[in-house]
């Protein structure tokens, strides 16, 4: 866990980039569009272990994995295989040929090698590469062309053909390729029964012309990692293999690769049904530092085990409509917050629970209305307290709502925090760039390193807090459960304190935002450390108590 | 509705001006992407003398995607199921934008002449076909007579 974190930090890409091994996952293309503060996740606090010459991350609970995104994966994994063949054993083949062969053979470079030396022509034929003749693909502009597929008559257009000579216009080829990409496999000539495969470079060229982008007609790493065919192929591969899992975060292009004997580990993960050993929950991160669980493919849900999470989500989905109805049709008592539905009568309300009298219109104390022209003195207490309504099902719904509300509140707050943090991020970045442009050196990036750390602490603190409500919902009653709730309160308070500091910084009343950040440096530092340690205390405590049987999940719930 | 692509207009024109023998395809007046199709059962097949009604729809991404074709007439065939769905490679993976409505309909006609029980869609029919081909052909003939005879 992160209380024994090593001191590896590389938030600002230009700080430590040179430390990174070429072969490692930490590829950053140009750094321009990277987010400066990684606000979600704690990848940079993640210890790393060296396995077979590449750096693997050790996730919470000791899961070994590589965090990737598609571009990094293509560059570091796939193109490395290509490089090995192109510059080592199969120098006679062109890059295009090698890429097609690798794709057909599922990126097993050994298989390509074996088949090549076994029977080159057979391999070429299987890959849709020309045998006995040179590759004669053409992409050229011609005049007065009628395309057989779209039936359009062009006065001038680009046309494309493979070695076979079957020619179609570039628009048709573009739509055809775009359409076929979903399959993730090699794409052949449009002509039926023609097996020639379209090479990667041609796809880049065709897309460049139609989209008016430019990769300059030369093969670069950028043109390769952006190649639609390679990207589609990579995605298909990630989808089909168990050792890869996409990051569940919205719009995230990242994924994680499990290291080691995947079948063993995946089985041991999913065999942990009904287990209370949360030290087995395989928490990993993607390249964007989003933490998620490799087993249930949900965000980091510690301290809850996966099966509790599934139960909870199912319950929330089942009951969310109920909760929504209650939200829409009831109002909390101003004093005790019990949900009250007004099903008729006047606006002088008395809470059944705490007997507080209030006005349904203004939610103020009813006494304030006494001398007003607005009078509800005809009110008769027709609805006597109905003890029977407080039956068990109501209680259990109340109990559920209690936890669900808090769960949902923290989920929403997480989104709010993210927004605030993005603002602070932009603000600070602009400020720092200003300083840099003016040549002033009075504040360095190192001086505000505490900021991203604090943001991460807040996000992770909230996430853990959120899941503690799911945890607490299923928890059986015991003294240790009370202690757990106490720790939960502590974490709650610290998280709110930390969140408040960020809010104050971004408050409209505060003109000097950077000044405020620096003024609050110690506070932010202390609070984020406190959040982290309280979060860890909560999770570690839960784990230990579950192990010892002092905490248990109530199966009745 | 978006304008009809030139490709569809041309194909439709040709289907009318130069029809395929034994096959008709008439676009619906309401929707020019929807065709009412008839295919004559091929001679020397259990479907001979039958006329089969089909519907054909050209999806938005036609010709990048295959047309959707379905038998409306009941037919006893191992590669055509109860709902009239057809198991034919060129309607699925082997579709190519260079194929056309007419080539697809010809392929379907050819499928009637050459049932392939080893790659079945209607498992029960395929089983019958493999167990007792003679009997299966008899049933196919009966069904043709019963459901696919021209009513003048």
Q: Are the beta carbons of A176 and B90 separated by less than 8 Å?
A: no
Q: Which of B11, B61, B90 sits opposite A179 (nearest CB)?
A: B61
Is a pLDDT exceeding 60 seen at residue A287? yes
Assess if residue A185 is contained within a domain. Answer: yes
Is a pLDDT exceeding 70 seen at residue A150? yes
Assess if residue B73 is contained within a domain. Answer: yes
Q: A184-198: buried (b, 16+ CB within 10 Å) or exposed (e) per residue?
A: bbbbbbbbeebebbb
What pLDDT does residue A147 have? 92
Q: Is the domain of A340 the same as that of A450? A: no
Nearest residue to A127 via CA among A159, A94, A149 = A94
Instruction: Give the pair of three-digit tokens for residue A85.
Output: 């063949």
Q: Are the beta carbons of A148 and B98 separated by less than 8 Å?
A: yes
Q: Is the domain of A203 the same as that of A323? A: no
Rounded (5°) CA angle B36-B41-B45: 160
Q: Could you report the per-residue pLDDT of A112-124, keeping only the tens digit for each?
A: 999 999 998 999 9
Q: Could you report the per-residue pLDDT of A539-550, keeping only the tens digit for each?
A: 888 888 888 888
Q: Which residues of B make CB contacts under 8 Å with A?
A: 5-7, 9-11, 61, 63-65, 90, 94, 96-99
User: Left if phi > 0, otherwise alpha if psi is -120 to 50, otherwise beta: which for A400?
Assistant: alpha
Assess if residue B76 is contained within a domain. Answer: yes
Name the range with the highest mean pLDDT among A57-66, A221-230, A303-312, B107-116.
B107-116
Q: How far is A244 from chain B (nearest CA, A)?
A: 27
What pLDDT does residue A443 have? 67
Percentage of chain B lying above the pLDDT 70 cut:
97
Q: Are the beta carbons of B63 and A150 separated by less than 8 Å?
A: yes
Tell me the CA distances in angstroms from B94 to A17, A450, B55, one per residue in order: 48, 58, 20
Q: What is the mean pLDDT of residues A211-230?
A: 79
Assess if residue A373 is contained within a domain. Answer: yes
Q: Given the cut 0.90, state whether the ipTM is greater than it.
A: no
What pLDDT does residue A401 have? 82
Q: Which residues of A make CB contacts under 8 Å with B?
A: 148-152, 166, 168, 172, 175-176, 178-179, 190-192
Assess if residue B41 is contained within a domain. Answer: yes
Q: Which of B6, B10, B64 sits opposite A176 (nearest CB)?
A: B64
Rg (CA), chain B: 16
Q: Is the domain of A321 the same as that of A463? A: yes
Instruction: Give the residue, A546 or A397, on which the prediction is more confident.
Output: A546
Range of the domain at B142: 6-147
Q: Is the domain of A556 the same as that of A426? A: yes
Q: Is the domain of A490 the same as that of A377? A: no
What pLDDT does residue A293 have? 87
Name the range with the highest mean pLDDT among A60-64, B68-72, B119-123.
B68-72
Assess if residue B94 is contained within a domain. Answer: yes
What pLDDT does residue A27 have? 33
Name the range with the highest mean pLDDT among A41-45, A460-464, B121-125.
A460-464
What pLDDT does residue A184 have? 85
CA A293 – CA A296 distance, rounded (Å): 6
Is a pLDDT exceeding 70 seen at residue A161? yes
Q: Are the beta carbons of A191 and B94 separated by less than 8 Å?
A: no
Partners of A166 on chain B (C-beta within 8 Å) are: 98
Asked, as a colleague might, if the bond just before A303 is cis with ω within 30 of 0, I would say yes
Percentage of chain A lying above the pLDDT 90 cut:
16
When divided into structural domains, chain A yields a total of 3
Assess if residue B152 is contained within a domain. Answer: no
What pLDDT does residue A272 have? 53
Assess if residue B78 is contained within a domain. Answer: yes
Q: Which of A150, A179, A192 sits opposite B6 (nearest CB)?
A: A150
When divided into structural domains, chain B yields a total of 1
User: Left if phi > 0, otherwise alpha if psi is -120 to 50, otherwise beta: which for A476?
Assistant: beta
pTM value > 0.90: no
A176 and A142 in contact (C-beta within 8 Å)? Answer: no
Assess if residue A404 is contained within a domain. Answer: yes
Q: Is the domain of A220 the same as that of A362? A: no
Q: Which of A150, A166, A176 sits opposite B7 (nearest CB)?
A: A150
Question: What confidence tier does B67 reach under pLDDT thresholds 50, 70, 90?
Answer: very high
Q: Is the domain of A460 the same as that of A546? A: yes
Residue B120, domain CATH: 3.10.110.10
Three-state SS letters, A339-372 = EECCCCCCCEEECCCCCCEEECCCCCEHHHHCCC
Domain ends where: A231, A251, A275? A231
User: Left if phi > 0, otherwise alpha if psi is -120 to 50, otherwise beta: which for A151?
Assistant: left
CA B22 – CA B27 distance, rounded (Å): 17
CA A111 – CA A424 distance, rounded (Å): 51
CA A189 – CA B106 distance, rounded (Å): 22
Asked, as a colleague might, if the bond just before A473 is cis with ω within 30 of 0, I would say no
Residue A494, domain CATH: 1.20.120.1750
The count of other CB atoms within 10 Å of the CB of residue B114 is 9
A73 and A65 in contact (C-beta within 8 Å)? Answer: no
Is a pLDDT exceeding 50 seen at residue A271? no
Assess if residue A26 is contained within a domain. Answer: no
Q: Is the domain of A528 the same as that of A440? A: yes
Q: Are the beta carbons of B97 and A176 separated by less than 8 Å?
A: yes
The DSSP secondary-structure symbol of A75 reads I
- A207-216, A239-248, B21-30, B101-110: segment of lowest average pLDDT: A207-216
Q: Is the domain of A435 the same as that of A313? A: yes
Chain-wide mean pLDDT for chain A? 78
10 Å CB burial of residue A49 (0-12, 13-18, 19+) is exposed
Rg (CA), chain A: 31
Element containing residue A50 per DSSP (H, E): strand A48-51
Chain-wide mean pLDDT for chain B? 89
Q: Could you report the per-residue pLDDT of B4-58, keeping only the tens digit for each?
A: 899 999 999 999 899 899 999 999 988 999 999 999 999 989 998 899 999 999 9
Range of the domain at A338: 333-381
CA A185 – CA A188 distance, rounded (Å): 10
């Amino acid at each position: 866990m992160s209380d024994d974190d090593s001191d590896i930090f590389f938030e600002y890409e230009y700080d430590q980039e040179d430390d990174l091994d070429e072969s490692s996952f930490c590829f950053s293309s140009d750094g321009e569009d990277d987010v400066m503060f990684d606000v979600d996740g704690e990848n940079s606090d993640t210890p790393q272990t060296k396995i077979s010459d590449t750096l693997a991350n050790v996730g919470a609970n000791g899961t070994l994995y590589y965090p990737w995104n598609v571009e990094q994966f293509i560059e570091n994994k796939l193109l490395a295989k290509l490089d090995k063949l192109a510059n080592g054993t199969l120098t006679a083949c062109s890059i295009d040929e090698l890429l097609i062969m690798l794709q057909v053979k599922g990126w097993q470079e050994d298989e390509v090698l074996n088949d090549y030396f076994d029977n080159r022509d057979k391999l070429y034929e299987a890959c849709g590469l020309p045998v006995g003749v040179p590759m004669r693909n053409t992409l050229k502009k011609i005049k007065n062309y009628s395309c057989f597929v779209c039936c359009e008559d062009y006065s001038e257009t680009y046309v494309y053909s493979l070695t076979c000579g079957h020619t179609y216009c570039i628009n048709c080829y573009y739509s055809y390729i775009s359409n076929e990409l979903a399959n993730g496999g090699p794409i052949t000539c449009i002509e039926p029964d023609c097996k020639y495969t379209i090479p990667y470079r041609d796809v880049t060229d065709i897309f460049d012309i139609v989209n008016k982008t430019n990769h300059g007609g030369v093969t670069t790493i950028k043109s390769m990692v952006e190649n639609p065919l390679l990207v589609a192929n990579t995605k298909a591969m990630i989808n089909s293999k168990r050792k890869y899992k996409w990051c569940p975060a919205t719009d995230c292009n990242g994924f994680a690769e499990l290291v080691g004997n995947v079948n063993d580990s995946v089985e041991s993960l999913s065999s942990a049904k009904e287990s209370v050993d949360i030290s087995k929950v395989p928490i990993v991160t993607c390249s964007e530092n989003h933490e998620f669980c490799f087993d249930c493919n949900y965000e980091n849900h510690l301290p809850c085990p996966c099966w509790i999470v599934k139960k909870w989500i199912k319950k929330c989905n089942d009951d969310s409509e109920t909760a929504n109805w209650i939200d829409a049709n009831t109002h909390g008592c101003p004093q005790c917050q019990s949900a009250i539905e007004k099903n008729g009568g006047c606006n002088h309300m008395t809470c059944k629970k705490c007997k507080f009298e209030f006005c349904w219109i203004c939610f103020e104390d009813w006494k304030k209305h006494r001398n007003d022209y607005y009078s509800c003195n005809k009110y008769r207490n027709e609805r006597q307290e109905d003890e029977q309504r407080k039956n068990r099902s109501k209680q259990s719904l109340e109990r559920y709502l209690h936890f669900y509300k808090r769960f949902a509140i923290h989920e929403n707050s997480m989104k709010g925090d993210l927004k605030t943090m993005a603002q602070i991020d932009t603000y600070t970045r602009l400020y720092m760039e200003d300083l840099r442009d003016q040549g002033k050196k009075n504040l360095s990036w190192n001086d505000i390193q505490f900021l991203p750390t604090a943001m991460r602490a807040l996000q992770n603190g909230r996430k853990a807090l959120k899941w503690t409500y799911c945890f607490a919902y299923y928890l059986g009653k015991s003294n240790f459960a009370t202690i757990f709730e106490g720790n939960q309160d502590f974490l709650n308070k610290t998280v709110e304190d930390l969140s408040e500091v960020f809010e104050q910084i971004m408050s409209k009343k505060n003109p000097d935002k950077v000044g405020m950040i620096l003024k609050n440096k110690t506070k932010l530092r202390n609070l984020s450390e406190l959040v982290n340690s309280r979060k860890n205390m909560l999770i570690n405590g839960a784990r230990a108590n579950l192990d010892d049987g002092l905490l248990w999940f109530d199966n009745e719930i | 509705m978006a304008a009809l692509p030139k490709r569809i207009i041309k194909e439709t024109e040709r289907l009318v001006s130069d029809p395929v023998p034994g096959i008709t395809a008439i676009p619906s007046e309401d929707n020019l992407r929807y065709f009412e199709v008839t295919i004559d059962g091929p001679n020397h097949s259990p479907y001979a003398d039958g006329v089969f009604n089909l519907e054909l729809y050209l999806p938005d991404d036609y010709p990048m995607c295959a047309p959707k074709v379905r038998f409306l007439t009941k037919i006893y065939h191992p590669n055509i199921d109860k709902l009239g769905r057809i198991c034919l490679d060129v309607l699925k993976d082997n579709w190519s934008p260079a194929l056309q409505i007419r080539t697809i309909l010809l392929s379907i006609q050819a499928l009637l002449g050459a049932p392939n029980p080893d790659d079945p869609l209607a498992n029960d029919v395929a089983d019958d076909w493999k167990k007792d081909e003679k009997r299966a052909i008899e049933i196919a003939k009966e069904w043709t007579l019963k459901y696919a005879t021209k009513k003048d």
